[in-house]
Each structure stands twice: as structure tokens, then as C-alpha cells.
Amino acid sequence: MKITIETPLPGEEDEIIIKMANLSDEVLKTVRRLKDGVGKDTMAVYADENIVMIPLKDIFYFDAVDNRVFAYTKDKCYETKKKLFELEELLEGSSFIRISKNAIVNIKAIDHLSPEFNGRFVARLKNGEDIIISRGYVPDLKKKLGIGR
């Protein structure tokens, strides 16, 4: 099988063209995964060069570093091709919430919160990791938890 990857022209939309004499189930599954991206309960992420579908409930948080966004589960890290603001829109109404300029957290992955320096909070996640909740995002978190105005 020949695989060709081309860079689109400026202004041209990303497009996937599959030329096959017979569409196999495996290819159809891959197409579905690419199309779905972020599904209701799953999300397509990248582990090395492979696309992996992981349940959203397994994602603890997203972190943006050097223009790349990574999804962290309990003990693994995957890259996602989405920008943080795109994820924020796609995950609106879910258990995910923006907590700083660079991070979105799954509130169901938070074990407890502690006050820290300067009015912000540290969230201890269920895998023992700590992430910072910026002061400016605390009101949104309170609202999400049903205790803010």
C-alpha cells in the first residue's frame, strides 16, 4: 500500500482521500476514528504515529506546551492535534474545565483542592499529580461545582 501525505495549499482545507479497490473493515474503522475526533465518550489522540481512541473519562487533564497540546491519563501522555480553545469548546458541558491559560482539567480526576500562593489553588489529582488552578479561573470552577454565583 502506498501512503502519500501532501501539504495543502494556503487556504485549502485539510482533506483525506482514500483510494482503494475494496474498502476493508480496518480502513473503515480508521476513517470513523479520524472523522469522529472527539466523540461523546471518546477522543482520538496520538501515541507516536498511531491514532488511539481513549475514553474521555480516562483523561485527567490537557496541557499546552510549545504550541502542542497533550492529554494526560492516569499514567500516560498522548498528543492531540486540537488547540486548547478548540478542546474547551468541544468539551463544553462535560466534566472538563479550563483552569489556566495552558490547562483544562477533568474535575472528576481531582482528589482535593488546597489554597496556594496568591489566591490560587492546587488541585491534587487522583494519580498524585498536582496542577495549578489560576486565580482568574477559580470562579468558573466554583460555578462548575455548583457553589459559585
CA distances from 23 to 14, 18, 53, 73, 106 (A): 21, 9, 21, 33, 37
Give burial (CB, 10 Å; 0-12/13-18/19+) of 45.
buried
Selected binder of another protein within 66, 118, 128, 149 (CB under 8 A): 118
Q: Which residues pair with 46 in a beta bridge?
A: 51, 79
Q: Is 53 in the site for another protein (CB under 8 A)?
A: no
Shortest Å distance, C-beta 60 to another protein: 14
Residue 22: which region, alpha, beta or left (left: phi > 0; alpha: psi -120 to 50)? beta
Q: Is 35 in the site for another protein (CB under 8 A)?
A: no
Q: Which stretch binds another protein (CB under 8 A): 14-22, 31-39, 73-81, 104-112?
A: 104-112
Q: Total residues contacting another protein (rule CB under 8 A)?
A: 27
Kind plus residue range of the DSSP H or E element containing 52: strand 50-55
Q: Is 121 in the site for another protein (CB under 8 A)?
A: yes
| Cell (9 digits) for 108 | 472528576
Q: Which stretch binds another protein (CB under 8 A): 43-51, 75-83, 86-94, 108-116?
A: 108-116
Give residues 66-95 in contact with another protein (rule: CB under 8 A): none
Q: Is 132 in the site for another protein (CB under 8 A)?
A: yes
What phi and psi values does residue 93 have, to the nearest 5 degrees?
Answer: 85, -5
Residue 78 and residue 71 in contact, taking contact as beta carbons nearer than 8 Å? yes
Q: Residue with C-alpha cell 474498502?
A: 23
Nearer to another protein, 33 or 120 (CB): 120
Shortest Å distance, C-beta 116 to another protein: 7
Q: Which residues bind another protein (CB under 8 A)?
A: 102, 107-108, 110-122, 130, 132, 134-136, 138, 141-142, 145-147
